[in-house]
Structure 1
Amino acid sequence: MITRTAVITGAAGGLGQATARRLLADGFDIVAVTRDAPSAESTRQALAAVAPGRAVHVLHADLVDRDAVRALATQLRATVGHVDVLVNNAGAAFAGYAETADGIERTHALNHLAPFHLTHLLLADGLFTADARIITISSDLVTRGRLDASAPDVTGTSWRDRFSQLTVYGTAKLANLLATTALADRLPPGMNAYSANPGVIRTGFHTKAGGLLKVVSSVSGIMAQTPDKAARTPVMLATAGIPPTPNGGYFTKGAAATPPKIVRDAGLAAAVYERTAHALGLDVRPAAI
């Protein structure tokens, strides 16, 4: 029997590491992706300690860097023979405007373009199994997202002179949610893509973000869940015996949920998908007929 393999980005702590621990307990081998070498080593030790006998691989990549995403895909090809589950969890809400070396606003680079890029590189490499599940972590803040339906900005550079931390983060997550719905129609039969909203989590994410998000977290913290509890939605999507429906759906609290109205705009979803592919220099995958 071939052991299932799950790749989880942003696995140094919080939701990502909690998801890794639970998938290890469910019999998966794990590839945990962290930002840098020190966090990779501490993550390897933490995960190996709770799962003796299971394969735990740890790689590191700063996913705001497009070249680092490409290098990560190459490392994954050399490290594992197949990927059954990809959990695109890495994310951050930066407090101020800055662009990457590729000319992408940082929040959009990490939260939207990086998971889109990594997913499509693995698809192109044929690394996904025939029934693979691609799970991208969403957020309550998608309701703060703002996209021009006639020309959606998927790179975030239009926020240069009007930056708002919560709105820019929400917009990056909204673009990601729309792209996931469009991706589901473009996957080979048997593969599934999902968006998973874990809700408010008791981690250092909001505090490290600084800015207004740190203030908001101090107010909402009383309702925050532990990472282990928040992990139930991505873990359910990864482990359910029958693939959850709908493909391309939005899930929270362990079940399918109705996404914001804007996400149900198929034309906008297709536009966001195509613009993102073009921004990354990727081929646009055709939608199923």
Structure 2
Amino acid sequence: MPRTFVITGASSGVGLAAARQLAARGEQVVVVGRDPRRLGAAMAAVRAAATGPEPDEFRADFNVLDEVRELAAELLAAYPKIDVLANNAGGMVESYVRTADGFEATIQGNHLAPFLLTHLLRGALDGGRVVNTASRAHQRARLDPEDFTGSPGKYSSWRAYGASKAANILFAAEAARRWPEITSVSFHPGVVRSNFGVGAATRFFYRFAPFLTTPEQAGELLTWLSTAEVADGAYYVGHKVTRPDTVAADPAVAARLWEASAAAVGVRAAG
């Protein structure tokens, strides 16, 4: 029987590659994206690869938390049982932006929104799995687990991105502790050439960075982590469990981040 895989950030890059691979295996693939045009193109590619159920699509902007809440309600109505939630949506914001919800845009889009979505889908995920796309960028993170607004005067796109990726790792580790009925992992997909960051700094980095990972290669890793036997709560680099750097390996920080995130998005913090 096909399993249900919900993949956010699946309009392009890693998410789209994994969606195509899972659809080719005959699984029920649910694609979540923000831009209608890109989402439509992605769905055409996933449908072309599918050998099982008709792929499905949903749209939401993760920088608007009410859209995340609406997305969760729509997903639950259509799929009362979800086997895997791949929290893959994310990006880098060149300049400081505060969302309508009052948070810095990078930490909201990359952490608070998937944190909220996962909580709202928790019942449907019972016995299933959550896979968070993180990054080695967390290694230089300066994460304050109780500050989601930041400061315009001190903003750095790379530091904000790194902090959000540290949050992805901590979220998976703490979810494994609080929700033993759901397997939770995070991973570094490699340095993938994609359009997640569109500023000059990112273009310069892509031009000179060696050993870029293709979206297909990173998608294969996401597919493997979604289907293979994995270590609950672990952070993966490739197929290997790896200890995260400094703050992202601290259980006390993970607990503080969980409590603060729950308060920020309006969900219960209890396990």
Range into which the TM-score falls when normalised by the shorter chain: over 0.9
Rounded to whole Å, the distance in 1 between the matches of 2:185 and 2:127 is 13
Q: How many correspondences in the alignment?
A: 271
1:196 corresponds to 2:203? no
Rounded to whole Å, the distance in 2 between the matches of 1:34 and 1:98 is 20
Q: Which residue of 2 aligns with 1:183?
A: 175
Q: Which residue of 2 aligns with 1:171?
A: 163
Q: When the two structures are superposed, what TM-score results if normalisation uses the length of structure 2?
A: 0.95
1:127 corresponds to 2:127? no
Shift >6 Å, 4+ stretches? none
Picking from 196, 213, 216, the partner of 2:202 is 213
Rounded to whole Å, the distance in 1 between the matches of 2:263 and 2:250 is 20
1:264 corresponds to 2:255? no
Report deviation, 1:52: 4.2
Report deviation, 1:46: 1.3
Q: Which residue of 2 aligns with 1:69?
A: 68
* Counterpart code for 1:205: F
**Structure 2: gaps of 5 or more residues:** none
Rounded to whole Å, the distance in 2 between the matches of 1:44 and 1:24 is 11
Q: Which residue of 2 aligns with 1:244?
A: 230
Contact 2:134 2:188 in 1 (8 A): yes
* Counterpart code for 1:59: F
Determine what percentage of the aligned residue pairs are the same residue: 37
* Counterpart code for 1:97: Y
Picking from 140, 159, 173, the partner of 2:136 is 140
Q: When the two structures are superposed, what TM-score results if normalisation uses the length of structure 1?
A: 0.89
Contact 1:233 1:255 in 2 (8 A): no
Rounded to whole Å, the distance in 2 between the matches of 1:10 and 1:117 is 15
Q: Which residue of 1 aligns with 2:56?
A: 57
Rounded to whole Å, the distance in 2 between the matches of 1:144 and 1:182 is 21
Q: Which residue of 2 aligns with 1:105?
A: 104
SS of the equivalent of 2:94 reads: coil
Cα distance change, pair 180–53 in 1 and its aligned pair in 2 (3 A): closer
Report deviation, 1:38: 2.2
